[in-house]
Chain A
Amino acid sequence: MDEQKTTGIQRSSTRTKRVRKKKKNQLPFGIAVLVLAIIFGILLGTKNQGMPIFWITGLAFGYILQRSRFCFTASMRDPFLTGSTSLTRTVLTAFAITTIGFAAIKYGAFIKGLPIPGQSYVVPISFATAAGAFMFGVGMVIAGGCASGTLMRVGEGFTMQILSLFFFIIGSLWGAHDFGWWKLNVILKGKAVFLPDVFGWIGAVIIQLLIIAMLWIAADKWENRKNLT
C-alpha cells in the first residue's frame, strides 16, 4: 500500500484552531542516547567479544520496529477485528524473504557437511504448541503487544507495557516451572518436522513460498471483500 502523506487534505471549515503549547525538541536527547548506546557497545566488546553483535542487532530491531510501526500482534488481530490486512501481508512478505535467506544459510552449511545452524528452532509439534500459541494469541491482543512489541513500547514510554513485561516475565517463570510436566506428558509425544526432510530443500522452499503467496492473496481478497460492503 502507498504511504499517504498527511498534507494536502481539505481541512474542515468548522475546525477551530487552538493554541498549542510549544513543543520541545527531543532530538538532542536522541543523539545523546545514541552516543551512549555506541559507547556501551564498545565497552561491551572489551568485556565479551561476542556481545556487540547482539547489542547492534537489538538496537536495529528496536529502531526498525518503532520507525515502521511494525506489529506482529496487529498482523494477527486486524483481519478479524478491523478487516485490515496490510500488516498481515507485510509480515507474510517478511516470512518469504527470511525463508529464502535462512534456507540459503542452512543449505550452505548442509552441503559443506557442517552442522545446520538454528535447528534448535525446529521444535516438536504437540498439543503444547497449540495451547501455547493460543494462550499467546489471547494474551498479546489483551496486553496490546507481543514480546517484541512490548519491549518496543517500553522504549516508547508506555507504563502499561512495563507492567505487562513484568508479568510476561512472571508468566515465563511459571511456564518454565511447569515445563518438565509438559515435556514429559505432552511434548515428548510430538515430532519435530523440518520441511526439507520431507520435500527436499528446493521442494520445501517452493512449497513454503507458494503457501505464503496463497495466504497473501487470501489476505488481500479478505480486505477488499470487507471494503465492498
Chain B
Amino acid sequence: MKEVELDCLGEACPIPLVKAENKLKEMEIGDVLIVQIDHSCAMKNVPEWARKEGHNVEVEEIDDGEWEIIIEKVK
C-alpha cells in the first residue's frame, strides 16, 4: 500500500479530474491517492467521479478554500 499525493492547487476545472483519473490508473488496488485542490468545483466533481467508479472517497477541508480528496483505489 502506498500513498501518492497529487498537487492540483491552482488548477482549474477539469484538469484536477483528468489528472486524478490518469494517476489512479497507474496505481494498485489498495493504494491511496490524495488530490490537493483549491477549486471549489473540483471539490464536487472529483469526489463525484471517484464514488461513481466505486472507490472509497473522503474530502477533507485543510484550509479556507483548500481541500484534500482522499481516494482509496478499491478496484
Contact = CB atoms under 8 A, between A and B. Distances in A.
Interface of A: 1, 4, 6, 9-12, 14-16, 20-21, 23-24, 26, 66, 69, 71, 73-74, 77-78, 81-82, 84, 86, 144-145, 156-158, 160-161, 227
B40 A144 contact: no
Contact of A144 (B3, B13, B43, B70): B13
Contacts of B63: 20-21, 23
Interface string B54-75: 0011111111110000101000
A41 B51 CA distance: 42
A10 B17 contact: no
A82 B56 contact: no
A23 B62 CA distance: 8
Given A20-B62, A20-B63, A74-B41, A82 B17 contact: yes
Interface of B: 1-3, 12-14, 17-18, 21, 32, 40-41, 43-45, 47-49, 51-53, 56-65, 70, 72
Nearest to B61: A23
Q: Is the interface of A mostly helix, strand, loop or mixed?
A: loop
Contacts of B21: 82
Q: Is the interface of B mostly helix, strand, loop or mixed?
A: mixed
Contact of A157 (B32, B47, B65): B65
Given A84-B45, A160-B12, A11 B70 contact: yes
Contact of A14 (B3, B18, B60, B62): B3
Contact of A9 (B12, B45, B49, B56): B56
Contacts of B59: 6
B40 A6 contact: no
Contacts of B52: 84, 227
